[in-house]
């Protein structure tokens, strides 16, 4: 048995902006499916560097993995998870938490 690293890169399959959020999350926030390079399609959140606005993401974009807190909330601030951000620079992104 040996460890294999997957999911470093992928392609955005679909995305939306959710204007309601379950407990522990802040609306609005992006939700997406990403086809990772190794094959599977995974549900994923989008990294905080992307401003939550329509037009920022485009289905089919190349994405890369980031490891971030699940959400900027007291419940989830200390839980790390996988998220994706576009490989190319995001228009309008200022790096702040959205």
Partner 1 sequence: MRDVSIIGVGAHATGRFTDKAIKHLAYTAIWDAIGDAGVQLRDIQVGYVGNSLGGLLTGQEGVRGQVVMQHSGISGIPIVNVENACASAATALRGAWLEVASGAVDVAIAVGVEKMYVGDTARTIGALSAVSEIDLSQMGMQFTTSYAIHPKINLKEKMSKYGWTIADFAKPAVKNSFNGSMNPLAQHRRPLTIEEVVQSRVVVDPLTLYMCASISDGAAAAILCASDVAARFSSKKSIRVASCVLRSGLYRMPDDDRPDSATIAANVAYEAAGVGPTDIQAIELHDAMAPAELMLYEWLGLCGPGEGPKLIDDKITTLDGRQPVNPSGGLCSRGHPVGATGLLQVAELVWQMRGEAGPRQIEPVPKLAMAQNQGGLLLGQDSAVYAITILKS
Given the rule CB under 8 A, which residues bind partner 1? 13-25, 29, 31-33, 35, 39-41, 43-45, 54, 59, 70-71, 81
Question: What minimum distance in Å lies between the beta carbon of 78 and partner 1?
Answer: 14
Cross-strand pairs, 83: 45, 66
Which residue, 44 or 48, has its beta carbon nearer to partner 1? 44
Which residue, 2 or 54, has its beta carbon nearer to partner 1? 54
| CA pair distance 75, 21, nearest whole angstrom | 13
Which residue, 32 or 98, has its beta carbon nearer to partner 1? 32
Which residue, 58 or 89, has its beta carbon nearer to partner 1? 58
* Residue labelled with tokens 């974009």: 61
Question: What minimum distance in Å lies between the beta carbon of 37 and partner 1?
Answer: 11
90: exposed, middle or buried (Cβ count in 10 Å: 0-12, 13-18, 19+): middle
CB atoms < 10 A from the CB of 30, how many? 23
Question: What minimum distance in Å lies between the beta carbon of 91 and partner 1?
Answer: 18
* Residue labelled with tokens 């951000």: 85
């Amino acid at each position: 048995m040996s460890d294999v690293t997957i999911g470093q890169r992928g392609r955005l399959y679909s995305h939306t902006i959710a204007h309601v959020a379950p407990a522990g999350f802040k609306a609005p926030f992006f939700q997406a499916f990403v086809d990772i390079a190794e094959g599977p399609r995974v549900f994923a959140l989008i990294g905080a560097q992307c401003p939550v606005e329509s037009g920022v993401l485009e289905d089919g974009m190349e994405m890369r993995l980031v490891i971030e807190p699940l959400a900027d909330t007291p419940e989830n601030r200390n839980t790390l998870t996988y998220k994706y951000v576009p490989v190319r620079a995001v228009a309008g992104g200022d790096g702040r938490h959205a």
